[in-house]
Structure 1
């Protein structure tokens, strides 16, 4: 057994794990191509991705079938000293996983002895490879009807294969977004984290596949070489590498800039540019209006929105310090973005002080909520809800970041707002449970896009008491696992919304930033981007959005109500629920395809 290993037992089987010195988040890269080639029997995706995604790709191509093992128990096991918390997790209490552990003398070993590794089970032997069938959701709805259904918020979900057609009403596929019905494309930019270039090119209609395309990425070394190799056959593609000087930082932003003969469009979304993210997952999209070109000789102030969107977008693009993106900044200056009603909330890597400290990350969100949010009577007691697909290291307890600087930013609203005790202002976190993943449309491989690792989870069991299930029955999407990330302030009766944010940013300090130097400096590792919806920008005098309880309701009462993409109020984990952790086995219960999960 490797250094720092420990063992667990859950309703999904006994297993043994090995600790890591590094946190496991979506931004972690796979091993080098040399290490990946050690297991030649397992197919690897042709694009760079996290280790969790890589494992999901392998398991989809080479599933492991569930077999009944009743009466076949692993060899007798000795007990492990554990911490038990409200979520029911049984994990090592050590917060010093990076330090070598000192063996306990034999005569003193009692309850602290480690569990033996289970004997190999033939149920973990791969079944014959099966090819996954790639299907594109049927286009049964006119794209213009889809656009109209999203007014005034222009917030959409992605189409999902395998659900009833009515639940894809008002949803978009990437092929819809790139369709000539939305504009006659001249050139485009794709910002993203995980990119499959051959797949991406197939999403563009034939007549646009030779148009200039700039791809902004954060790949380095071997993965950068693979991306360049993918791009080589396409003469119209240029690559722009985002600088990532901070350890564990990623280029996680997901945005499209689409220049048409008719104008310009900005798309900010949550999907990677790979098949799986547009197939059977719940993703979010903000689609801008079609921005017309400004008349020649217009003032430099012309074309700005009440939300200052154009200037903020220019500042974000300027943070890359890229010649290619400066060309697009000039293009944006030439267009009228005055119809924009959302605020831009971005993160860029660096350490920020003074006025720059509020330009990015959670302090940017705090500033907007303070200056543009409407102070509402009794809002101090309204819950803050966070929903995400990956989790970083939060520290040894909630006071280290979550319930201090980050929570303070999310709980800000209007000037002069008073803060009540924490117990009266709950924080609710929505993250899929093991059963959410197991019964999903994809089964266990859906967990590849939920890369919460055991090395991080076992250090912060306190966090799991905040967790609520992924539940989206009214939208017919409960079984489409979320890769969308949303944050909001909701009334206790779930009928009013003070604000709503859809973003690429997961629950991590790398994405949102963490204060340093006694609060004088904000340190951010990653590029992230999202849009904030505030009632004041939509001329709503009440100061709150009404919540659309059934996002497919077509009655007049639902007009102008905000379509929150999951069921409210959030449902707390039940006694047997566990948060999904990707890098441990689940062998005692089959998923929706009759398979188990045996990560290597």
Structure 2
């Protein structure tokens, strides 16, 4: 099937899987930092020594198996694995070199192999109107066998000693919304940002036990992030892996007897356990961190990630009532309800601990998703209907709200139907435009921020960063209408334009983008599986996945709106401006821009590391 669009022409297989079957979470990244091929310039990036390429993939702690058997986080992610293990160098013949210099990206379009089920590792590319260049030869590399693999090959580039905090850093205590540190950025852009080693350090509390909820895990790497004095403290892993993937995960922990597991129930097909949360129990109290990062090295290296980190909640006095320690946002009640939804004996002791602590300082609302089909009042417990209920109850209408755009920013996209009314505007946008109990149903601008091919090509990681942006051509070709909403990923104010986003944020902004009506950071990408979809004439909602995020509304901070902080770095401890992690207003795609599609080749221009992208 051939399709012509404003973003090019592309060809898809006639033997496509149902795109709902492609899980939308997890992370795979790779790509060695090599100089671009001679005669071709590439955008600036950190100067790093060339090293062999591998892939970040839920690695085993010792002696990873061959590439063909590595676990990636979901079976749908196996297809690009060969390319990430062995990046393809940009090579041309003299007759093509001049022409290729004039082509900034693979403008010929999108292509996929003749069969989605090919298992020989070869990609059969079809002619797309221009003569295809000679197929470059892959430079095979040996898989890493000594330590967890990385996007920079056998060894990560070591961060300088002052990359990690040696004293309590200056943090934004107003909103407690933080970005993760990015290797290779100017130091000022990492001020007030956090690495996982910072979060788990003694500076933030004397740790007794912890729980890690997530989708992707590298157990050996995770354990090393705990400081030596806490490294043998009990850790509970909450995951959604089944069968072979579960066996691989459990094997990772055979050398770590203090690590235990809790399997989340996933009873609806194609759902994932995508929630990313830490529960940290200290001698001083209890802390909650809700974030967007997987527990793998690559997610904390050169990606834009975000988190909400609670204050340390103190223990309640003995004999406190059952309702003690609640916040004005009912955060304690909602967190306990979310944990109870797992129906897991392993979490019971944590539910009891939380009840014993004072969470009254929480100023955010919890927005979660848990798998199930819900009717009646239960429809508003989870997913986007939960968000709709909160916005109706805790925000107020604003003058001219029909001109206040909705902005959604994410790293993966699911199937939303043959036209925008089937889910995006008919259901999801209605939630996003809710302000108070107004009966006015506006149709404001909708800006969807998602990286274009050029954003990925010029990123710190280059094309392999696209392994964390799993928008498939099978899904894209069924919803061409969606691409008219797309805007570029630009983050100059935070220094993260070249650190591809794995963060997911949603917000409502004023027409001049100086004010926010609300802001949400969450694990949920743009998909019905994550947010839920109405069924049976809107009398039932079905949610497939576990997700978790926090909603900021101005009323919880004694404000009418949030002022947008245009230059959030260096960080101030008491700023009233909200640190939006990308540039406002968002920039529309140009006619030459294409959304990043992860399972088609990009071969006509090298990335920052001199590689091209040929998925297997």
| TM-score of the alignment, normalized to the shorter chain, above 0.5 | yes
Partner of 2:587: 571
Partner of 1:523: 542
The 8 Å contact of residues 7 and 114 in structure 1, kept in 2 or not, is answered as no
Partner of 1:448: 467
Do structure 1's residue 470 and structure 2's residue 466 form an aligned pair? no
Distance 1:572 1:132, change over 3 A: farther
Tell me, what secondary structure is at the counterpart of 1:258?
Answer: strand
Distance 1:122 1:89, change over 3 A: closer
The 8 Å contact of residues 16 and 117 in structure 1, kept in 2 or not, is answered as no
Per-residue CA shift, 1:304-333, capped at 9, x if unaligned?
000000000000000000011111100100
Report which stretch shifted further, 334-343 or 157-166. Answer: 157-166
Tell me, what secondary structure is at the counterpart of 1:497?
Answer: strand
Shift of 1:522: 0.6
Do structure 1's residue 63 and structure 2's residue 87 form an aligned pair? yes
Counterpart selection for 1:407 from 425, 429, 437: 429
Distance 1:409 1:266, change over 3 A: same
The 8 Å contact of residues 219 and 252 in structure 2, kept in 1 or not, is answered as yes
Q: RMSD across aligned C-alpha pairs, in angstroms?
A: 3.1
Do structure 1's residue 21 and structure 2's residue 17 form an aligned pair? yes
Partner of 1:103: none
Counterpart selection for 1:504 from 513, 517, 523: 523
Do structure 1's residue 544 and structure 2's residue 561 form an aligned pair? yes
Q: 1:268-279 residue pairs with structure 2 within 5 A?
A: 268-279=290-301
The 8 Å contact of residues 12 and 586 in structure 1, kept in 2 or not, is answered as no
Counterpart selection for 2:532 from 490, 494, 513: 513
The 8 Å contact of residues 273 and 546 in structure 2, kept in 1 or not, is answered as yes
Shift of 1:9: 11
Partner of 1:109: none
Shift of 1:135: 3.5
Cα distance in 1, alignment partners of residues 533 and 433 from structure 2: 17
Partner of 1:302: 324
The 8 Å contact of residues 463 and 612 in structure 2, kept in 1 or not, is answered as yes
Per-residue CA shift, 1:182-202, capped at 9, x if unaligned?
111111000001111111111
The 8 Å contact of residues 374 and 540 in structure 2, kept in 1 or not, is answered as yes
Q: 1:212-291 residue pairs with structure 2 within 5 A?
A: 212-291=234-313
Q: 1:151-550 residue pairs with structure 2 within 5 A?
A: 151-420=173-442, 422=443, 425-540=444-559, 543-550=560-567
The 8 Å contact of residues 2 and 9 in structure 2, kept in 1 or not, is answered as no
Tell me, what secondary structure is at the counterpart of 1:187?
Answer: strand
Report which stretch shifted further, 546-555 or 299-308. Answer: 546-555
Distance 1:375 1:70, change over 3 A: farther
Report which stretch shifted further, 522-531 or 116-125. Answer: 116-125
Shift of 1:474: 1.5
The 8 Å contact of residues 326 and 333 in structure 2, kept in 1 or not, is answered as yes
The 8 Å contact of residues 606 and 612 in structure 2, kept in 1 or not, is answered as yes
The 8 Å contact of residues 5 and 480 in structure 2, kept in 1 or not, is answered as no
The 8 Å contact of residues 12 and 474 in structure 2, kept in 1 or not, is answered as no
Cα distance in 2, alignment partners of residues 132 and 285 from structure 1: 29
Tell me, what secondary structure is at the counterpart of 1:505?
Answer: coil
Partner of 2:597: 581
Per-residue CA shift, 1:133-180, capped at 9, x if unaligned?
314544537859765422110000001011111111111001111111
Q: Which runs of 5+ in 2 are unaligned?
A: 29-56, 58-63, 98-106, 117-125, 143-151
Shift of 1:131: 2.9
The 8 Å contact of residues 345 and 365 in structure 1, kept in 2 or not, is answered as yes
The 8 Å contact of residues 383 and 491 in structure 1, kept in 2 or not, is answered as yes
Q: How many residues matched?
A: 550
Q: Which runs of 5+ in 1 are unaligned?
A: 34-39, 74-87, 99-112
The 8 Å contact of residues 89 and 578 in structure 1, kept in 2 or not, is answered as no
Cα distance in 1, alignment partners of residues 137 and 447 from structure 2: 36
Cα distance in 1, alignment partners of residues 342 and 355 from structure 2: 17
Tell me, what secondary structure is at the counterpart of 2:386?
Answer: helix
Cα distance in 2, alignment partners of residues 210 and 555 from structure 1: 35
Cα distance in 1, alignment partners of residues 231 and 543 from structure 2: 36
Report which stretch shifted further, 375-384 or 521-530. Answer: 375-384
Cα distance in 1, alignment partners of residues 455 and 591 from structure 2: 14
Shift of 1:539: 1.4
Task: For CA contacts below 8 A with separation 6 or more, give which structure has more relative contact order.
Answer: 2
The 8 Å contact of residues 8 and 91 in structure 1, kept in 2 or not, is answered as no
The 8 Å contact of residues 291 and 308 in structure 2, kept in 1 or not, is answered as yes
Cα distance in 2, alignment partners of residues 323 and 118 from structure 1: 60
Shift of 1:15: 7.5
Per-residue CA shift, 1:223-273, capped at 9, x if unaligned?
011011112221111111101111110000000000011100000000011
Per-residue CA shift, 1:538-587, capped at 9, x if unaligned?
112xx10000011115689x821100000110000011100000000111
Cα distance in 1, alignment partners of residues 330 and 429 from structure 2: 25
Cα distance in 1, alignment partners of residues 279 and 7 from structure 2: 47
Shift of 1:11: 9.4
Partner of 1:561: 577
Tell me, what secondary structure is at the counterpart of 2:67?
Answer: coil
Partner of 2:37: none
